[in-house]
Each structure stands twice: as structure tokens, then as C-alpha cells.
Amino acid sequence: MRKKTAFRAIFTIALGVGLVGCNNSKNYKNSSRATGWDINSKDGGFQYDTDYEEQEPAPGLVFIEGGTFTMGQVQDDVMHDWNNTPTQQHIQSFYMDETEVTNRMYLEYLDWLKRVFPPSEQNYRNIYYGAVPDTLVWRNRLGYNETMVNNYLRHPAYAEYPVVGVSWVQAAEFSKWRTDRVNERQLVEAGYISEETLYKSEAGATFSTETYINAPSRVYGGNTEMTQSGKKSQKLLDDNTSTQTDADGNTVTTSSGKNQYAQRKDGVLYPEYRLPTEAEWEYAALGLVGIRDYNIYRGRKKYPWDGRYTRSGDLRKQGDQLANFKQGAGDYGGIAGWSDDGADITAPVMSYEANDFGLYDMAGNVAEWVADVYRPIVDDEFNDFNYYRGNVYTENAINEDGTVEIVSADNIQYDTLSTGRVVARNLPGEIAQKPITEDETYMRTNFSKSDNRDFRDGDKSSSRYYQPFQDIDDSSKRMYNSPNFDRIAIGDTTQAKPKYDDKERTTLISDDVRVYKGGSWRDRAYWLDPAQRRFFPQDMATDYIGFRNAMSKVGAKSMDDVKRAKND
């Protein structure tokens, strides 16, 4: 017995020593775990930001910690749409706008376009006019709404109201613009660009995030003085260059090779602003982070707030409406006084309490565009992680000399929408994009073509009437036999004449209709349920659909993970 006990004691001590040794691994913060070489040494070598903290929320955004949830509803479907069958989905952490994009935010975008691309110049007039919201959405043939037509967008009284009259296409273009302006400011604060540069953009000399990453010397129209006038850039230029005299007496300037431009590995630039996916929007609206009730977790939470009613049960605010919506026939706010919801049309953002994620107006006020192409069924059998329908993969266009192709005033891409409006889909200074070809996806298992909007639903191979040798131009056999609008451009005007489709059609569903979520000031309480989903053509606008932006989170899933890693 004593021998066995002694053996066990020795074994336990040895095991403990082994475990301690495993935990005391070498700190590789400033040296390479791969080679042992020093990182960021003064003598050159690999340069990497080893002091990166974690992605901070970009302007306007709040953190949404990801997780699993029941997308769709398990309650009665009184509309009989049968388009929100419950599915279990998992969402990665991301950031989302605290409020809807307001009129003032959108006017900043319009002001920038007007200043940089003057509509008085023929080459640029469609850039500005294509971005202006449709203020005529307020008109009603049996109602007087001219006050909103003339004032809602631009009058300071409506500055903090959500922007409306914006199509999905316009919302997507705003998101791209916002990405570039925020990252341009990031580079100023990090010392790579001087602050004066922010206000010197010209039509042929603008900043684009992707251009800066892929061809930094070609941003601002190739004016390197603008990118090298920042404190950090100038210091790098001064520290890393030296002047020598060669054998012939000529002065030669050499460089140590360090880059005066910020790169992705520096952690300075934010990911893109974009429209949230439908799954992200619904997950954020539910705000399950503050609740751990089993029934709610399984999809039985009805609104972004706790409870099953639209009025507050708080003793201090008892009876107050929790959202801006249509309460009944001819009732858009209630009887004037304490029981009124405070708005007859839209309301200023933050007029009602935020949900548990800190997001305002995720029910009511305005419905909101999301990124997804609409289909009646969410195909969770194929994917239940970051679900999204609408992927169109592109790549940078490359010139014959191997450089990226930069968009100029002569090759701006315009789209003529079904409404006749002409919209710019890229701006001078951006990198031109082209579809990915099947040759480039050869032997790939995860995707095989550029446009995946109709994947497993609506493409010819998944159609009920598909025949291998059927005429591909015969649209009468398509699963989604939607109207086809041919666009006929008219010179350089801001309008184009559409060619009407005279064939018999059976559905409005196509690859050009997008999902919008949430109720609005025009909707009854039924639509306040985050699970409800509707669709609208992506190039049309209304007086009750707005939008907000989202941004993917890089790094750890939650802020607690970052804190734990630092403590360890």
C-alpha cells in the first residue's frame, strides 16, 4: 500500500509540473511564433501591429453580440403569406446603427456629391440627381401632403427624422460613400493624411478605401502629396530615406522600404458600412441579449420590447405607446394629449425607448431596407450561419500592364432603373469591378458563378419546368415569371424611357426585389413583429421605408473575450 501511495504522489507531482510547464509558454508578442525572428525590429523585417486592441464601434454604430435565435415566427400567420416559417439561425457579432439614417445624415451625402461632382457639369449631373430621394412619395391623390413634399427632406425641423423616399439602390450607394468618408477620417486621425485633405476632394481626386488598400499611390487622382502630408506619413518618409553620392558624383535617395501607407494589417481601416442582412436585422430587433426565458429563446418574443402589448406597463409611463404605428382606421397617433403616440407621420429618431441592444425604432416609425433578395422560403437546409440571399461576387478589373483599373469621368457606370431614373453605380477614383467568370471558379466547391441571387430557388436548374434543352430565352417557364423591364436611355438626361413588358406575368418576385422589415407609421401593430417580412422593388421608394447601416465585427465574438484574453 505504501509503495502504491508513494507512486501516486510522485505521478501527481510530475503531472503538476508538466501542466505548469504547458501554461508558461513563451510570449511571442514581439517575436515570430513561426521563425523566432524579431517583429517590428528597427533593422527592417516584418512589420505588424502587435498592440492592436480591438475594433471600436465606428461612428453611429452600437455593438450587437452574435448568437443563435429562432428566425421567423411560431404565432398565427393572419396574412397567410407563409413566408416566415421558423428556422434556427446563428449570427456572428456585428455593429448596427443606433438609429435609422436621418435626413441630416443623408443631406451630408448629397452636399458632398454636389460639391465634388457638380451637377452643372454634364459628365456628373446624373451622380447627384440619381442620389436625391424621391420627395413625391408623399403625394396622395385624395390627401394634402404638399408640406412634406416641399419640406420633409431639407427643412431643419425634420433634420432628425428618418430619411424616406430612398430606394434600396440609393441606400446601398450611400453605404459605400459612408465607408470611404469614415476611413478617410480614420487615416487623418492616425496621421497618414492631413486634415486639410478631407475638404480638398475633386471630381478626379477622391478617396476610395479599396483604391487606397490596393493602389494607395492612385487615390486622390494620383496626387501623392495629399497622402504623404500627414504627420505619420511625412515622418516615415523622413526617417526611411537617406541621401548618398554615387561614384559619378550624382545624388541618390534610397529608402529602407517601410511603407508610408496604412494597410489592413495596421488595423486602422474599418470594414465596410452596408445594409444589414435580414437575419441580422431580425436578430438585432428582437434583442434577446437581456432575456434568458426558454419560450422567448424559442421564438415567442413578439416585439423588440418585453411583453405582448404596444403600451407601456411601467407605472411611471403606464399607457404610453412604445412605437410609432397606425393604431386603427383613420388613427395614426391617438387622441391628442397624454395618450397620443407623439407622431402622425414619422417621429424624430430616439423618440421611443431603445431595445436591449440599445437600438431605437426597430419597430414602427419607418420600415427598413435590408440587404437580402426576397424569396418566400429561407433555405436553412443549405445554410444556417450568417444567412443571406443576394451574393454577387466581383473582382477588381486589371489593365493590360497589371495595374488596377481606376474609374474616371469617362467610364462611370450608370444604371437606368425601371422607374426611368439614371443612377451612378461607381464613382471616379474607385476601382472598376467585373464579374467572376466560371473559369476562375474551376474546381471550387463553395461557389461556381458570380451572381448567386437565385441559387437553389428561381434559377433554371431548380425550376419545376426545367428541361435541359429548353430555350433559355423562353421566360414563360421560369419559376418566378416576373415582369421584365427593358431600359432605353435617352441621351445624357436624368431620365430614361422604360420599355414596358406586354407579356402575361404571374408574380412580382424577381432578383431585383428586396426584403424590408419592421412596421412603419403607416402600418398596423401586426407588422411591428420583427419576424414579419415584405418585399419591394429595389429601384422604387415610398414614404414609409428608410434604412440603417450595419458593419461586420472582426476579431473576438464579444468584448468579454477580449478582456479575458488580456487578463490571461
Domain chopping of the chain, boundaries: 58-101+163-187+269-389+516-558, 477-510
pLDDT of residue 79: 81
Write out 423-464 in H/E/C secondary structure.
EECCCCCCECEEECCHHHHCCCCCCCCCECCCCCCCCHHHCC
CA distances from 65 to 53, 138, 274, 280, 362 (A): 18, 37, 18, 11, 17
State the maximum Cα–Cα separation within the chain, in Å, rounded to a whole number: 100
- How many other C-beta atoms are found inside a 10 Å radius of the C-beta of residue 18? 10
Region class of 485: left (phi > 0), else alpha (psi between -120 and 50), else beta:
beta
Closest C-alpha to 216, from 225, 206, 205, 227: 227
Residues of the chain with pLDDT under 70: 1-25, 42-45, 74, 234-259, 290-300, 313-315, 317-319, 338-339, 459-479, 487-498, 559-568
CA distances from 516 to 221, 243, 519 (A): 38, 61, 9
Contacts of 43 (CB under 8 A, 6+ apart): none
Q: Which amino acid is at 453?
A: R
Contacts of 3 (CB under 8 A, 6+ apart): none
Q: Which amino acid is at 44?
A: G
Q: Which amino acid is at 435?
A: P
- How many other C-beta atoms are found inside a 10 Å radius of the C-beta of residue 518? 30
In sequence order, which ranges of 215-367 are alpha helices (DSSP H)? 224-227, 231-239, 278-286, 294-295
Residue indicated by cell numbers 425634420: 158
161-177: burial string, b at 16+ Cβ within 10 Å, e else: bbbbbbbbbbbbbbbbb
Is the CB of residue 363 less than 8 Å from the CB of residue 304?
yes
pLDDT of residue 472: 45
Cell of 491: 441621351
DSSP three-state, residue 88: strand
Question: Going by DSSP bridges, is the β-strand pair 367-373/496-499 parallel, antiparallel, or unpaired?
Answer: unpaired
Residue indicated by cell numbers 407563409: 82
Residue indicated by cell numbers 446624373: 126
534 beta partners: 516
DSSP three-state, residue 89: strand
Fold of 58-101+163-187+269-389+516-558: paralog of FGE (formylglycine-generating enzyme) (3.90.1580)
Is the CB of residue 311 less than 8 Å from the CB of residue 320?
yes
Cell of 531: 419576424
* 406 vs 20: CA distance, rounded Å: 56
pLDDT of residue 508: 86
Is the CB of residue 126 less than 8 Å from the CB of residue 417?
no
112-143: burial string, b at 16+ Cβ within 10 Å, e else: bbbebbebeeeebbbbbbbbbbbbebbeeeee
In sequence order, which ranges of 53-130 are alpha helices (DSSP H)? 103-116, 125-129
pLDDT of residue 51: 75
pLDDT of residue 338: 67
Contacts of 231 (CB under 8 A, 6+ apart): 191, 194
DSSP 218: G
Q: What is the DSSP string of 486-520?
A: EEEE-TTSSBEEEEPP-S----S-STTEEEEES--
Calculate the CA dihedral of residues 439, 444, 448, 450 and round it to 10 degrees.
-80
Positive or negative torsion for Cα 352, 356, 360, 363: negative
Q: Which helix (H) or strand (E) holds 91?
A: strand 87-91
* 165 vs 132: CA distance, rounded Å: 9
Region class of 59: left (phi > 0), else alpha (psi between -120 and 50), else beta:
beta
DSSP 216: G
